[in-house]
């Protein structure tokens, strides 16, 4: 997850001159960003001075208020001091977001040098040390996913689905979480990876073939990794594994009366979130990607509660749910009539609904049409949306490995990786030489590559209990936001800048840790490894020279570099160069 200076508080300041007394003074960040980025702690001190709090007096009045009633003047003073504390807390959150957006790892390293976490007097806590990050993620009853759950609840039709208002990603209530987790683990399991490998391999090879053909036509041997493979191969996974099909061309359908009952009323008074009879869409892969991205951005990136992002995300989610309800009905009819169906998460759930090989003691409410649609929706949004960047990060790491940016030798008894070995492993798969063993080794390369260039830096949690502590830090108040930096944790280990294979499992937090480990942990690596295989099959894959005048700050905009949008949230382009000879000709001959 990423936040920015605009993505860091639960209640943003209104634009322009504001009457909100809790709106922080952030002029130091906006006046000279380069100077502010020189030192995280110096900037925290400066922003704290610009948003001061009389801490001693606040503590004095707070203690006094617990012992006896305050005078009217004291009560007013205390409220004013609390407002100052909120203001400073929001300012601190803005600084954290500012650095996460523009210079995350120098900030995280600076904090690690001082301790396991940054715990300001007011504002969010940022946890950076490996063991401490894992500890926070393990204490799911104290540090909850509530910031995500509130918005996900709004698209659940609890009044009609048996009373369920949460998805496993969005709750830490054990009574709600465990039944859903058991059910979803039965339909998304480790054995699925082998079953989808050839499907994903063929899709990657087909898409690379199209990109190579286009490059030959254009006379420019370059490939945009985002557009060629990273963005839409996950949608193929959604189609053939999760059961969320996409059409060659977009189409439409009419919402049923039941769908209008579920999704026809506005959410939070926003008219655009209410669907009408003609709002049914049969998506092509581009529309599916846009739905998933919009839903994910609102649920997981919209910390600042941007209204436009919220409306777009909730509407997209409802359209996806309506489409899934239609698909549930289609697949059930096929099963009932004895027609063949693809083995997907959705058809497995429909089979359970029909009493076919269902888990023991299955609560039938968990496999109602609505609940099937909601669980498939939550899975595809959670498992697919981030795949695009993760794939690009891995390829970028491999190009960095080729360029010598990571150490590949040392004094320890480690096994180091090399670009040449990774490429040979890919060629072995493409040539049919020990493909199973080669894929196992390439999975180790993927894990280390993504550790070195993680997708996102922090996971957001909220403290649920007064008095909870992180390490030997001060007691936290319930409601405090906690950023657990998995990106930092994966650098808090021996030889953090070396490309070492076979690191212990706890050093790899790409898919989370403990309760909220991603459902896609088994199939997501298949997408990345098969993309690696296809791209490494191109002859002389490398980074092209940047064009004159292209900036690298505040955002990377150089040709040949992985680029994200202006919110630093989603990948936009990543162009690499190859030679139309050798292995390119071998595996993608001219037709």
Please say whether the beta carbons of 539 and 581 come within 8 A. Answer: yes
pLDDT tens for residues 503-539? 999 999 999 999 888 888 889 999 999 999 999 999 9
What ranges make up the beta strands (E) of 273-321?
280-282
Is pLDDT above 60 for 15? no
Q: What is this structure's pTM?
A: 0.93
Report residue 358's pLDDT band, with 50, 70 and 90 as the boundaries: confident
From 28, 33, 26, 39, select the one nearest 107 (Cα to Cα): 39
**Residue carrying the six token digits 């196992």:** 440
CA gap 60, 213 in Å, rounded? 73
Is pLDDT above 70 for 6? no
CA gap 517, 184 in Å, rounded? 13
pLDDT tens for residues 167-188? 887 788 888 888 888 898 899 9
pLDDT tens for residues 359-394? 878 888 899 999 999 999 999 998 788 899 999 999
Percent over 90 (pLDDT), the chain: 81
**3-class DSSP state of 364:** helix
Please say whether the beta carbons of 202 and 215 come within 8 A. Answer: no
CA gap 299, 155 in Å, rounded? 11
With residue 141 as reference, give the H or E element that holds it: none
pLDDT tens for residues 250-271? 999 999 999 999 999 999 999 9
Give the mean model confidence (pLDDT) for residues 76-104.
95
Please say whether the beta carbons of 108 and 488 come within 8 A. Answer: yes
The phi and psi torsions of 143 (rounded to 5 degrees) equal: -120, 100
Residues 6+ apart with CB under 8 A from 55: 121
**Residue carrying the six token digits 């030489």:** 433
Is pLDDT above 60 for 4? no
| Pairing label, strands 481-484, 125-127 | parallel
Domain boundaries, the chain: 1-123, 189-217+386-454+496-591, 231-384
Cα atoms in the Cβ-side hemisphere of radius 13 Å centred on 230: 25
Biggest CA-to-CA distance, the chain: 87
Burial class (CB in 10 A: 0-12, 13-18, 19+), 268: exposed
DSSP class of residue 564 equals E
Residue 573 in tokens: 């382009």
Residues 6+ apart with CB under 8 A from 273: 266, 267, 311, 314, 315, 318
pLDDT tens for residues 230-247? 999 999 999 999 999 999
| Beta bridge partners of residue 270, listed in sequence order | 267
Residue 165 in tokens: 């208002």
Average pLDDT for the chain: 93
């Amino acid at each position: 997850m990423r936040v920015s200076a605009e993505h860091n508080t639960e209640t943003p300041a209104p634009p322009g001159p504001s009457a909100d007394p809790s709106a922080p003074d952030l002029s130091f960040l906006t006046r000279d960003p380069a100077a502010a980025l020189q030192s995280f702690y110096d900037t925290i001190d400066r922003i704290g001075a610009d948003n001061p709090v009389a801490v001693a007096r606040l503590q004095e009045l707070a203690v006094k208020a617990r012992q006896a009633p305050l005078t009217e003047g004291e009560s007013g003073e205390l409220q004013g001091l609390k407002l100052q504390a909120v203001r400073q807390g929001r300012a601190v959150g803005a600084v954290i977001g500012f650095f996460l957006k523009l210079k995350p790892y120098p900030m995280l390293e600076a904090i690690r040098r001082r301790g396991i976490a940054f715990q300001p007097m007011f504002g969010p806590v940022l946890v950076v040390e490996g063991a401490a990050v894992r500890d926070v993620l393990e204490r799911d009853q104290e540090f909850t996913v509530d910031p995500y759950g509130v918005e996900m609840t709004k698209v659940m039709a609890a009044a009609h689905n048996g009373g369920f208002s949460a998805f496993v990603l969005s709750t830490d209530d054990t009574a709600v979480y465990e039944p859903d987790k058991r059910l979803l683990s039965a339909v998304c399991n480790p054995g699925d990876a082998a079953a989808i490998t050839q499907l994903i391999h063929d899709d990657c090879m087909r898409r690379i073939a199209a990109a190579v053909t286009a490059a030959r036509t254009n006379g420019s041997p370059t490939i945009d990794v985002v557009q060629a493979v990273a963005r839409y191969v996950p949608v193929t996974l959604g189609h053939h594994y999760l059961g969320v099909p996409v059409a060659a061309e977009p189409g439409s359908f009419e919402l049923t009366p039941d769908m209008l009952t579920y999704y026809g009323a506005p959410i939070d008074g926003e008219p655009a979130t209410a669907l009408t009879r003609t709002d049914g869409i049969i998506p092509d892969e581009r529309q599916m990607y846009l739905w998933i991205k919009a839903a994910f951005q609102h649920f997981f990136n919209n910390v600042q509660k941007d209204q436009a992002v919220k409306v777009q995300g909730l509407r997209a989610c409802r359209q996806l749910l309506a489409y899934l309800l239609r698909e549930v009905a289609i697949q059930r009819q096929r099963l009932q009539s004895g027609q063949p169906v693809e083995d997907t998460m959705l058809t497995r759930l429909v089979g359970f609904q029909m009493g076919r090989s269902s888990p023991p003691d299955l609560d039938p409410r968990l496999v109602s049409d609505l609940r099937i649609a909601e669980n498939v929706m939550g899975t595809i949004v959670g498992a697919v949306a981030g795949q695009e960047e993760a794939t690009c990060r891995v390829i970028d790491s491999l190009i960095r490995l080729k360029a010598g940016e990571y150490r590949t030798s040392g004094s320890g008894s480690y096994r180091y990786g090399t670009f040449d070995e990774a490429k040979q492993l890919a060629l072995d798969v493409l040539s049919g030489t020990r493909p199973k063993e080669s894929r196992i080794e390439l999975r180790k390369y993927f894990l280390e590559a993504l550790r070195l260039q993680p997708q996102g830096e922090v996971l957001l949690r909220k403290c649920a209990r007064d008095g909870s502590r992180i390490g030997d830090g001060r007691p936290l108040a319930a409601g405090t936001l906690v950023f657990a930096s998995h990106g930092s944790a994966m650098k808090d280990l021996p030889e953090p800048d070396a490309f070492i294979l076979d690191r212990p499992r706890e050093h790899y937090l790409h898919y989370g840790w403990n309760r909220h480990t991603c459902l896609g942990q088994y199939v997501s690596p298949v997408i990345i490894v098969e993309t690696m295989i296809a791209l490494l099959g191109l002859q002389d894959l490398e980074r092209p020279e940047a064009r004159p005048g292209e900036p690298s700050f505040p955002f990377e905009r150089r040709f040949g570099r992985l680029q994200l949008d202006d919110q630093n949230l989603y990948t936009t382009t990543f162009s690499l160069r190859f030679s139309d000879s050798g292995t390119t000709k071998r595996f993608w001959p001219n037709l």
